[in-house]
Amino acid sequence: MTPVAIALIAGGLHATLRGDRWDPRSVEARTLLDDEWRRQAMTRALRGAFGVVLAAQAPLALWLGGRPAPGNAVAMAIVTMTLGLATLCALFLAFDRASDDDAG
């Protein structure tokens, strides 16, 4: 069921482009990619998310220690990835908003 959902979401996102393709060499894309505020916000968010993921490893190992080995590894990987991505997104949005508030 998950591959079907991914295909539907990808198709829906592709339909919103209305035939236009992402061109990383366009002026708009270069402006967005070269923005120093966004780069700094992403760098700070990456560092923060990395710290959260590292700090979560010991509690996760203790919490999942009583499970069988394959299930333990899979559960720890899933929780780690989810925690890392959620933290990265939240921190990037927070840092990006803070830099937009400071600039304007």
Q: In a 3-state reduction of DSSP, which class is residue 74?
A: helix
Contacts of 11 (CB under 8 A, 6+ apart): none
Q: Cα(14)–Cα(5) distance, rounded to whole angstroms? A: 14
Q: Cα(1)–Cα(14) distance, rounded to whole angstroms? A: 20
13: in domain: no
Q: Which pLDDT score, from 0 to 100, does residue 71 have?
A: 78
Element (H, E) at 84: helix 69-103
Burial of 41 (0-12, 13-18, 19+ CB in 10 A): buried
Report whether pLDDT(19) > 90.
Answer: no
Q: Which pLDDT score, from 0 to 100, does residue 104 have?
A: 56
95: in domain: yes
58: in domain: yes
65: in domain: yes
94: in domain: yes
8: in domain: no
pTM exceeding the 0.75 threshold for the entire prediction: no
Structural domain span for residue 64: 26-103
Domain total for the chain? 1
18: in domain: no
